[in-house]
Amino acid sequence: MPKGQIRKAISGFYYVYSDGVTYQTRGRGNFRVKDMTPLVGDIVEFESGNLDEGVLLAVDERKNELVRPPISNIDVGVIVMSAIEPEFSTYLLDRFLVYLEGQHIDAVIYITKTDLLNETDHQKIMAFQEDYQALGYTIVFSDFPEYRSVDALLEVIGSSSAVFMGQSGVGKSSLLNHILPELDIETGEISMALGRGRHTTRHVELIPVKDALIADTPGFSNVELEEIDEADLPDLFPEFLRNRDDCRFSGCLHLNEPNCRIKQMVETGEIKQYRYDHYLQFLEEIQNRKPKYHKNKK
């Protein structure tokens, strides 16, 4: 059976791209029985006598799955942050980064509105750039003509599939409009969230742009850490992960354990205090999370 990738899903149809051709397909009834919904990004088996009447037969195991937008097998998450208006937030940035690390998605940080900064604030942003690049993250600034920054961003994304995320007002929709001008996404994200305007139905689509595949819908403005366990959280901070074996105890949570290498590095400034503070906040949130109870299906 041929294999392909779902590039678009709308009104119960799944558009599967395979060997340069797009097939319109429907899911088999057993997907509903299994309570399983195929997603854009899925690698699927399908059969089709022609381009318009295909049937999905099976979905390959996913490497990740997002809720907003509903999409799977994403390689890169572009975190759109504004330098000002709203003010640059390392807390929010770290929250997105931890979420992406937990989903095994590479993060790229795209910073907008740097042209609005005064000299003092500009120096602060440059210091943060140093901090995050030292952790291995790529940062792209939009402080030169937009088409040049978009080209720089697409070069970083390469041949990967990418989604865009960031809080409201940072310019996610404007950035996507530059990358995909044919979309004409409403830049007032509130009105889009309410479903007003001409596009009453939003569907998700992966659109080829140069070598990349770009999700055409701006993603979430904030993320929950519901899928992250406290034992896994330390490894979602790269600077913790690379030094964890120097702690006295395996499974160290870097709280009050003796001979904790991470706490020593915070004290010496080798690990930034604000990163450690955010770690403690996330850990407390996870530890105080109410357990989920799932009803048994009869």
Residues 6+ apart with CB under 8 A from 108: 76, 77, 78, 79, 137, 138, 139, 140, 153, 156, 157, 162
- Residue 168 assigned ligand-binding role: yes
- Residue 160 assigned ligand-binding role: no
- Residue 129 assigned ligand-binding role: no
C-beta of residue 109 within 8 angstroms of C-beta of residue 93: yes
- Residue 138 assigned ligand-binding role: no
Q: Omega of the bond prior to 70 within 30 degrees of 0, cis?
A: no
State the Cα–Cα distance between residues 107 and 189, nearest whole angstrom: 22
- Residue 260 assigned ligand-binding role: yes
- Residue 292 assigned ligand-binding role: no
Length of the chain: 298
- Residue 297 assigned ligand-binding role: no
- Residue 59 assigned ligand-binding role: no
- Residue 173 assigned ligand-binding role: yes
Q: Name the residue type at position 11.
A: S
Adjacent-strand bridge partners of 111: 81, 141
- Residue 254 assigned ligand-binding role: yes
- Residue 170 assigned ligand-binding role: yes
State the Cα–Cα distance between residues 184 and 152, nearest whole angstrom: 22
- Residue 166 assigned ligand-binding role: yes
- Residue 158 assigned ligand-binding role: no
Torsion, Cα of 1, 16, 12, 49 (10° steps): -50
- Residue 250 assigned ligand-binding role: no
Structure tokens at 113: 């509105």
- Residue 55 assigned ligand-binding role: no
C-beta of residue 31 within 8 angstroms of C-beta of residue 24: no
Vertex 80: Cα angle to 128 and 152 (nearest 5): 85
Nearest to 9 by CA among 32, 27, 36: 27
- Residue 199 assigned ligand-binding role: no
- Residue 174 assigned ligand-binding role: yes
Residues marked as binding for Zn(2+)?
247, 252, 254, 260
Residues marked as binding for GTP?
112-115, 166-174
Residues marked as binding?
112-115, 166-174, 247, 252, 254, 260
